[in-house]
Structure 1
């Protein structure tokens, strides 16, 4: 039976009981085993000692027999011929010796047996066994086996005297077995001695187990009391880390010191965490796997208009105002394991509705297993209000700059037209009209061009989306631009570029503008490179680079602004239109330029346009 099986039967619910049972098994089992082994070895030693004693008696009788039965019958006239007389004569000669040897101990019996006479010669003590003189042993008596084999033998069983242990020694004279000598003792007497030894071993074993039980009981009681102090202290410490465990001795004292140190460290960490949570301006709410609130800092109290004491331990749903359709990123994270970053739901509370930025993630223990979820809430209502004001101010500033740019671009042609008209009003020569008329028309065309680009920038048409190949568009626009200039245009196309969802005509316009700008920035021996690449599985890239004059660092932040241009005849709307087209395709455009080294414009476009933006998981 195992200890676990025994614990189901016995009420081993306390540490003390388990210690006592374990210690008793550890102590009592060896004592019992030693007792059993000692008793077994003692029995064997007792039997060996008895056998040695009995064989010693037979050897004494063998020595006292001298030359043998023949010498003892030398003074008997009839010798061996008269069996009865020979038996009586030998018995008279040997009875004294057997009685003397048999008197050594209680229960000892010895005797001689003659093989030639096939009779017991003497059996001492004679007072008890004289009637056996002259009796022959049975055919299956072990004495005959001793005489036949000429080897000593010990036999247990019922013989002439009854239940005995019989040691038999063959009588050998002149290499001839002439009989045997025996010495025996009652088995009951041997068993009595064994029982005495058994009782002694049992007493010593029980005494050892009793002493062990007393020692184990005392030690386990003390250990159980000290462990109880630790258990009770831990129960108190579970609710109040400021109450340390009382000091103890020895190894348990070291354990208590370690627990108190860990409790102090945990208290410091908890205090630090609580201080951080209380000091953070963002609301923090944590829930366990069941959705029950476990943490609620002061900032969250203000957002939800509820105190931490009123909500901790309650379901997170209890924070929602009844009748509102609140989408909770915290509960979604708890249910799906998805992390949300910067989601901006509305948070209804008792004072109105707040605009918040929520970021949620899964809480995990030290082994990486989920134990709940946490959400960080930032009140962005004031930020959004300020952003609206900043955006309005930016729009007004941009509108002012746009207005100033339009006024500047239109005023110059109008001034020229007004001057020419005033001049022609005072001039009656047809040749003057023919000379200045084309100049006026060119100024009007310039105004029309500015208005056309301004309309394209301010009122772009909706893109017509289709599957287009960006590498083919790049080749076509490079070919078209090459026809208008002698500049060297190099193509760097990747082997496999997927088709993308885009407005091909709009992209042609954007690429043509970029290539023309690059060609206008290079010298006669310069070059323009158009590269198209695949970026992973989701995006493609087109890059237009030149080794021209480049831009000054102060101009890099203004290149996409309307009416900003470094070219004397430029309107400043080309790159602004390109930027608008890339934005309409959900792409990104970047410009990198170094003065005197050249410019690189990179456009990154998605392969598939997203229909609806959703927060990443």
Structure 2
């Protein structure tokens, strides 16, 4: 037998025979070793990173202290390095002078970095010049460093160094930077931090890594132990039961003892819950008044509830398995939301359309969305149909009643508006009937003509209101239209008109002349409600990209709350000479463009009129 084969046999003999033993062994290799190695690497790298961060910080402070001795420093540090200052002033005096100059700055640096000590050492004076914070280490000023102090190596080599160990302050991490002037070392600067602080942070990190590693190892072994118990004995029973449940959710798995038995119980519970949910879903679909139709990815009908079958006029047996488009008449103008969702994946919510059924056309509110499986994969689509045919009929009756009521108000208003000028004409003619004075005729004839013109203007506006011409739709740039109309209207008043027009406003499909009439009417109304010193602001915007918004606001007298709902009624006007048809006409023009007009007013503060005009005049095809 070859050595390799003998080794393989020996290795197989060392492996446990039970599944539980094998799981524990695998757990030992897969969990313990990686966690231990990862913890060790994290601890080592973390400690090194901590020391590097501390070292970089300390050297940064030494460079800051060195920069303080630059050209702007007039303290004699360089002069003392040459030895000339000591002879002139004496060593103690020179140390005291330099300390007084440098101590405030070292205290400032030390105060900004708690736990850090900084200072200067002068080689010529062989003394510590300053040691901040001075409140703790001022006693060291003037002392020399010991012969074995690492600072001597910095002075001799001229290279920066970092040392860890006992020094003047105690056990510290000390960064030392030589002070080099004219090619020579005249001293060094240090910044240090107590090793206790560094070790305390490193120890905290070590404890955290060790705790997590031990917890991970213990948890892995514990979970392996719990999961391995009895798995081999009971796993086949569970698998067999699950295979049978694929075709029969009513089948219950006989639960074995132990944890796997609990799994079997839960599986049985989930099977029952799924069966109940399926029954509940079927009951809901059969009970709701809205129609529901589901299709697969090929567009074949897979489910239809009774409400949908009744709407379309078919039975479920007739349409299951057939293409969805067989439920409606072939019509190139009809785009099905369900088929569009199936094709593009985009849902449709609350789409109102006319559904061309094979037996009748239905007015429906439709919502469609994709159907997905447990892996979020699209397996088809579903549509919910709400029949609005009866609502449309009732709405038509209500609109007819509203029109009759409006017609009555219109007739009453017309009678009132016509009666006033006719009364004036009749009075003038009765007076002139008995007068032979030509001057009297010349005096009252213009008054009669004005009353006739008033009647003619009223009849003209009434004809325009009653028989509006179809809009001539062309691309219109609203900003240019507003500039033109505001320039024209601005000549009629001293009120200031300000424009805030969106620079990127797209063109709209509209009747430009009709919209000019609307905007001009709104500006004139604002001018009449605003004093000569007032401001009329006009703005445009496209907040949602589907419609243009025009706002006309003024700071005039406003509209009384009880009159706001009446401003669009024909013949309603608060102006002495108004006919009350201007805003009614504006409302009709905006309606013809499938837009909206709204008024918000505060008495004494002003009024804001907001127009919303769709960019596309024709209604967008329902999809």
Counting only pairs closer than 5 Å after superposition, residues 182-581 of structure 1 correspond to structure 2 as: 223=234, 226-227=237-238, 230-231=241-242, 233-235=244-246, 238-241=247-250, 243-308=251-316, 310-311=317-318, 313-317=320-324, 320=327, 328-340=336-348, 341-348=350-357, 354-466=362-474, 468-494=476-502, 497=505, 500-533=508-541, 535=543, 539-581=547-589
- Any conservation in 2 of the 1:358–1:378 contact (CA below 8 Å)? yes
- Any conservation in 2 of the 1:586–1:609 contact (CA below 8 Å)? no
Shift of 1:537: 5.8
- Any conservation in 2 of the 1:357–1:379 contact (CA below 8 Å)? yes
Shift of 1:605: 3.7
Of 460-469 and 568-577, more deviation after overlay is shown by 460-469
Distance in structure 1 (CA, Å) of the matches to 2:507 and 2:336: 39
Shift of 1:269: 2.9
- Any conservation in 2 of the 1:286–1:294 contact (CA below 8 Å)? yes
Shift of 1:587: 4.0
- Any conservation in 1 of the 2:494–2:533 contact (CA below 8 Å)? no
- Answering whether residue 621 of structure 2 is matched by residue 614 of structure 1, we say yes
Secondary structure at the aligned position of 1:559 is classed as: coil
**TM-aligned CA distance change 1:379 to 1:222, over 3 Å:** same
**TM-aligned CA distance change 1:223 to 1:402, over 3 Å:** same
Shift of 1:450: 0.7
**TM-aligned CA distance change 1:362 to 1:402, over 3 Å:** same
Distance in structure 1 (CA, Å) of the matches to 2:435 and 2:587: 48
Distance in structure 2 (CA, Å) of the matches to 1:289 and 1:597: 60
Distance in structure 2 (CA, Å) of the matches to 1:323 and 1:614: 16
- Any conservation in 2 of the 1:324–1:348 contact (CA below 8 Å)? no
Tell me the alpha carbon deviations over residues 561-596 of structure 1, each in whole angstroms, 9 at most, x when there is no partner: 222222222111111222233344454433221122
Of 597-606 and 515-524, more deviation after overlay is shown by 597-606
Shift of 1:281: 0.6
- Any conservation in 2 of the 1:507–1:581 contact (CA below 8 Å)? yes
Q: TM-score, normalized by length of structure 1?
A: 0.57
Tell me the alpha carbon deviations over residues 346-366 of structure 1, each in whole angstroms, 9 at most, x when there is no partner: 35366x554433332211234
- Any conservation in 2 of the 1:585–1:609 contact (CA below 8 Å)? no
Tell me the alpha carbon deviations over residues 157-202 of structure 1, each in whole angstroms, 9 at most, x when there is no partner: xxxxxxxxxxxxxxxxxxxxxxxxxxxxxxxxxxxxxxxxxxxxxx
Q: Could you say what the CA RMSD is over the residues aligned between the two structures, in angstroms?
A: 3.6
Counting only pairs closer than 5 Å after superposition, residues 42-61 of structure 1 correspond to structure 2 as: none
Tell me the alpha carbon deviations over residues 107-149 of structure 1, each in whole angstroms, 9 at most, x when there is no partner: xxxxxxxxxxxxxxxxxxxxxxxxxxxxxxxxxxxxxxxxxxx
Residue in structure 1 matched with residue 12 of structure 2 by the alignment: 30
Tell me the alpha carbon deviations over residues 398-436 of structure 1, each in whole angstroms, 9 at most, x when there is no partner: 222222222221122122222333343345554543443
Distance in structure 1 (CA, Å) of the matches to 2:439 and 2:405: 47
- Any conservation in 2 of the 1:523–1:548 contact (CA below 8 Å)? yes
Distance in structure 1 (CA, Å) of the matches to 2:551 and 2:524: 14
Distance in structure 2 (CA, Å) of the matches to 1:535 and 1:354: 34
Shift of 1:377: 1.5
Distance in structure 1 (CA, Å) of the matches to 2:368 and 2:451: 61
Residue in structure 1 matched with residue 38 of structure 2 by the alignment: none
Distance in structure 1 (CA, Å) of the matches to 2:325 and 2:449: 75
Of 402-411 and 219-228, more deviation after overlay is shown by 219-228
Q: TM-score, normalized by length of structure 2?
A: 0.57
Residue in structure 2 matched with residue 12 of structure 1 by the alignment: none
Secondary structure at the aligned position of 2:357 is classed as: strand
Residue in structure 2 matched with residue 216 of structure 1 by the alignment: none
Distance in structure 2 (CA, Å) of the matches to 1:225 and 1:565: 88
Distance in structure 1 (CA, Å) of the matches to 2:591 and 2:425: 38
Of 385-394 and 243-252, more deviation after overlay is shown by 243-252
Distance in structure 1 (CA, Å) of the matches to 2:514 and 2:330: 48
Residue in structure 1 matched with residue 148 of structure 2 by the alignment: none
In the alignment, structure 1 segments of 5+ residues that lack a partner are 1-25, 35-218
**TM-aligned CA distance change 1:580 to 1:271, over 3 Å:** same
Residue in structure 2 matched with residue 590 of structure 1 by the alignment: 598
Shift of 1:335: 3.2
In the alignment, structure 2 segments of 5+ residues that lack a partner are 1-7, 17-229
**TM-aligned CA distance change 1:355 to 1:519, over 3 Å:** closer
Tell me the alpha carbon deviations over residues 280-318 of structure 1, each in whole angstroms, 9 at most, x when there is no partner: 11111112223343332221232244444x257522449
Shift of 1:446: 0.8
Greater Rg over alpha carbons, structure? 1
- Any conservation in 1 of the 2:238–2:264 contact (CA below 8 Å)? no
- Any conservation in 1 of the 2:478–2:508 contact (CA below 8 Å)? yes
Distance in structure 2 (CA, Å) of the matches to 1:282 and 1:399: 38
**TM-aligned CA distance change 1:421 to 1:260, over 3 Å:** same
- Any conservation in 2 of the 1:233–1:244 contact (CA below 8 Å)? no
Distance in structure 1 (CA, Å) of the matches to 2:231 and 2:522: 90
Distance in structure 1 (CA, Å) of the matches to 2:238 and 2:474: 78
**TM-aligned CA distance change 1:556 to 1:271, over 3 Å:** farther
**TM-aligned CA distance change 1:321 to 1:577, over 3 Å:** closer
